[in-house]
Structure 1
């Protein structure tokens, strides 16, 4: 879609979604060398999608490209190098198109393994003396000189190694095996590229048998694995690890509903199982747990919201009462332990609900020290000695960059990447504001991320688009919730005079257990009330004309879009639902966290209440549905069921079908992104301005 706006802020989708990207290429995969002298990461300094290996050197302070395999790769959207791991001698192993290669300190690239394809999850022990990886679902290991790898744990058609970790000594590997033998297999038939096609997927539904998982440990030299069995292999595994002395493995687990949380420990010689910690929470809807061994390898550190907010606890022994390390009406997202100094570093939203800063606290609690200062989102990677912090930082006006700083209070960060093209700085991008609002249901505090055009005046006449709606959307970073490339459509719509809003909704991180309680069994109910309260607040403040408000979202966001239109006719003028989850009977079983189990006195009515398929009669406003035909996450067949109901009920709507496209319809390629977002933009232009 080409804009006819000739203002200095005018944008086109062709300008936004092209290569090289005006916002540059996000750096990723920050990895410190074992001695902390160098930081490797994947990046492209010219805004292309092909990422090479770059290295920042502590001694010289210089950043240099270690590989140059992306030279000339400026079209076709190749992703380039996807993973890397440090080996002995300053070398880096990496994966490119599923093959493993190694680059020396002088930049020479050579093949590293033979006979291993589709390699992923590269990892080396601290001394870099060997490399483990997953290929074809099996766990393999190769020595530091490369060659033919040793198969440590095999695989079959439906039994694969899902993840693994090295023991500190580098002599053993603890891993998770996933068994989908009894998991439902589905076929999706679709037409694409002039042919009738049929693809098979492993895909369970609520009430089905699901993936069975078990943890094992195996010698790096090979041999039989020792297995650590839990009472129910279908229970989820959220975290696991092996003690530094190698004697104990913990497994952080819960039932499917996540209402029963258990941390087991296992003796690595006998496989004897101990229930180290157990807690029942009947209103739990988010599995934000993390576990680590305490410095003495005896106790465990636990991140949990058992007392209302995600905080750190020390459990000194099996069955002991957890001892709080942090407390307050804020939440911790993740943590890392500095064993040598008895300190814990963590990211949290203490400063602002939309921000994530790095903090530290002593192992025995006490004052919390803020390390990062710039408002925004900080994603840390700590040097092995915990003296330096590498930080992928972004805020509402700044695409992601890497900064390095000492791990002390008020340290000055040093920027080591510069990603956007020169044209980025020459444009005026949308202003971003944060506006608090309250729930009309229970009075809870919420907040909206609001993007407005330059020179905006709250006179009540602007058209407004709420979306893309989703949980965890309140983020002070470029593009807000960055799971999809919606930063571009947001900026385009603002350049066209729309106010664009991302409201905080229940089910999100940061506000605590009781704040999230109303979302239990409430898909399409509490969430859409939060969105509506946001709209009422903003229109009341003059941000928009209440007669010209649209809403859009994809997947779960599509569910909320449809439910908002179906259950609140006349409140929104128009909505766009991308890959909408319309039938919770076809959700993943894990969504039982919120929608509840497939039994009980209120079942099946509870599922009908949360399924947009059964609320279509309420549609009175303009609707567009965008969906790909090869979507195994949210079935295209479910959209067809909605279409059939709407047709029978003589409802008007528009359907945009994307042949052969999967669930991430906005991420498949730039041509499709421009087309689909162009359809969305034209729809809102017509319905909210026309």
Structure 2
């Protein structure tokens, strides 16, 4: 799942650094130093931790920093402040260094001219000249985020407010000023529109959009879910053109979900291309806004080209090139996503030029924010002459500098570690800022890299996880820092390293947690199936006695590029694991199998084309390693996971030595056959079922349903409104288990999606899981003596 839309998004600024290419190096040591906890010492009399406190109260809710968009310079952030008592929302500038506030847009003057009440600002954008602001309000959800709503133009000099378009015509998406702030473009009902702000005249720039057919300026379900693409159009720097994505989904197939909670069940239908099925056709066009004339670039992706030119995964405008004009850049991928082309399109002629080509023996990571990559593949620099390209061509995720014409300049970062976030280049100081895994795969730190060569300098301190956001002038950054035992704090620093102000300390939460005397995770390594050291953590009860035997529960996710074992705050789920250890005497462990992130390309892509098998082998090997310890009862070991973790749970219980290793397992929202999952995600790691049928069969838990042993307890959980991993997956596993005569438990949550939340659902789910493992692993009774 992806996070909900923030009212105010943090601004990510792009840049670069430089050094020469280096040969691939060995992976970093798997075992990191364990961070020191900032949690106060354990209270003498521990408070009682309950499931109600964990999942039906705000007891453990961490306070988070408001966040916002950096002003042009200084330690100043712009954010939306909701005043619930007054019923207003104001745009505020906050001086982080001096704790000052200034109201930029007073919400009390935002009376809707076309409706009742005040505009409640959900998002905003200033025009380039700073004279106007676009205000976004009354939004509605589109799959993951609230990306459709209504827009108003607010004149900052006169306080005049006017709607961009007539509300009765429908919801609008992704409205943007042109560079001169004379027009606003937006998407409505899958077509692109432009409004002249002087006259109020609205014109349709496309008319082909419609349900189940053509989409202009935005995307279908799978492009949004797997490439993170939603906003599909861009104004040219001179305001003459708009470049936009166009998709034709007429050849894709509908997937239907049924809500059985109504007297007569209601059906929702949407296009969802499953592995091996047809994707939407895609191309990029450029429309001349004045004339309405549209030119489409021939990228061999529109009803031609086959699997070799399947996707356009990114698009934007270049800076001015040698001819003084900007081109449209496009990132093209083949269907297997192991070949990428950077293309330039001339908006006047429609000519397309290949500028850069990247080939890989595994997938090329272009999705951001869901695995171990937080920033995109290409970033143009403010100097107007260069771009930075992210690649793992030397075995690790690093940055490479190119001239805008595609000529290679140099490798920017290098070493046996991955760059996970690229924050930009301070050209005045000649340094780039990056977040990397250099200290440990379990940690994240900010580094400053000299452009002229030299070693990266670590900027953040304190072992653990640092999520940073740099100011536009690179003088300041906010650092949200946590460890496995300490909730997040947010602090303002100068990039010199000097602390300026603590913005959020979460001391009250830390004190509440300390009162429970919960056991801390202990980081270690365990051998995988091939002997490779795997990062792991173990949680033991605070009264742990090595002379006794304990049941063991492994929590897994294990999907490509993910990490379960990190030295960061993990919220209520990790607290629940601590609850199981403390209350039920169950040891809880987490293991990052092969295929997970933070340890370089070879480790991450070892599962290519055989998804699930190595991961299951590693989880089984890890459990057997724990089971050989004198204080672990090898006859009482379990495993559980959600989504990919649910899939891996089913495989680990039924594949190879799994039936003899795991006594119990709980699979929440599991994939059970990759043939039932979407094209872009699945084929990135498995190719298509037509090319790799053996890989699909080998990695499907349904293949091994008959191997579930009589002594194994299995619980399957799914929400029947899951648009991501369809409940059809669990039904397929149920069907296979029943055909094999196997007994198991099943829980369906009607009307719940992939996150299975809302109302008291989370408390119900975790009560179910707690009772299941307490009974199946014997954790509810006294711990057995050896």
What range is the shorter-chain TM-score in? 0.7 to 0.9
Structure showing greater relative contact order (alpha-carbon pairs closer than 8 Å, 6 or more residues apart): 2
Whole-Å separation in 1 of the counterparts to 2:382 and 2:550: 57
Per the alignment, residue 319 of structure 2 pairs with 244
Matched, 1:674 2:763: yes
User: Deviations 1:43-102 (Å, cap 9, x if unpaired)?
Assistant: 8999xxx99976522563336898899xxxxxxxxxx97544345369673444333468
> 1:13 is matched with which residue?
51
**Inter-partner Cα distance in structure 1 for 2:483 and 2:465:** 6
In structure 2, which of residues 377, 386, 393 is the aligned counterpart of residue 290 of structure 1? 377
Residue pair 1:23, 1:421 contacting (<8 A) in 2 also = no
**Any idea what the Cα deviations from partners look like across 1:237-267, whole Å, max 9, x if unmatched?**
3433322335123222321211212222223
Q: Greater CA deviation, 212-221 or 304-313? A: 212-221
Per-residue deviation, residues 485-514 of structure 1 (Å, max 9, x unmatched):
634533443442433333212222221222
CA distance in 2: counterparts of 1:594 and 1:405, whole angstroms = 40
Distance 1:460 1:331, change over 3 A: farther
**Take 2:736 and 2:156, find their aligned partners in 1: how far apart are those partners?**
63
Structure label with greater radius of gyration: 2
Q: Does 1:411 align with 2:498?
A: yes
Q: CA deviation at 1:447?
A: 0.5
Deviations 1:168-214 (A, max 9, x none): 66665544333322221122334124441211021111221102333
Q: Is 1:648 aligned with 2:739?
A: yes
Match of 1:264 among 343, 356, 363: 343
| 2:57 equivalent to 1:57 | no
* TM-score, length-scaled by structure 2: 0.74
Is this contact kept in 1: 2:132–2:154, CA < 8 A?
no
Structure 2: gaps spanning 5 or more residues: 1-43, 109-119, 140-148, 219-230, 303-308, 367-372, 781-786
* Structure 2 CA distance for partners of 1:518 and 1:426, relative to 1, 3 Å: closer
- Secondary structure at 1:645 match in 2: helix
* Residue 541 to residue 405, structure 1, CA distance change in 2 (3 Å): farther
Q: Which residue of 2 aligns with 1:338?
A: 425
Q: Is the 8 A contact 1:345 1:358 kept in 2?
A: yes
How many positions carry a matched residue from both structures? 662
In the alignment, which residue of structure 2 is the partner of 1:191?
A: 260
Question: Of residues 152, 166, 176 in structure 2, which corresponds to 1:115?
Answer: 166
In structure 2, the partner of 1:215 is 284
Distance in 1, Cα, partners of 2:285 & 2:627: 56
Q: Deviations over 1:125-179 (max 9, x none)?
A: 8898876655544455668999787655564224142324555666655443333
Residues 1:39 and 2:129 are matched in the alignment: no
Deviations 1:404-440 (A, max 9, x none): 32223x2325332456865745644551332123323
**For residues 91 and 513 of structure 2, what CA distance do their matches in structure 1 show?**
26
Q: State the match for 1:658 in structure 2.
A: 749
Contact 1:29 1:84 in 2 (8 A): no
Counterpart-to-counterpart distance in 2, 1:418 and 1:592: 43
- 1:123 and 1:406 mapped to 2: Cα distance? 33
Partner of 1:3: none
Pick which of 259-268 and 332-341 moved more: 332-341
Query: 1:24-57, CA deviations, whole angstroms, 9 ceiling, x for partnerless residues?
Result: 35457632234556313468999xxx99976522
Q: How does 1:168-183 map to 2 (within 5 A)?
A: 173-183=242-252
How far residue 308 of structure 1 moved from its aligned partner, in angstroms, is 0.8
Q: CA deviation at 1:576?
A: 0.5
Greater shift after overlay, 379-388 or 307-316? 379-388
Deviation, 1:617, is 0.8
Partner Cα distance (2:432, 2:659) in 1:
50
Indicate the residue corresponding to 1:75 in structure 2.
none
The partner residue of 2:135 within 93, 96, 100 is 93
1:556 and 1:187 map into 2 onto residues whose CA distance is 22
Give 1:632's aligned residue: 723
**Aligned equivalents of 1:460, 1:324: Cα separation in 2:** 54
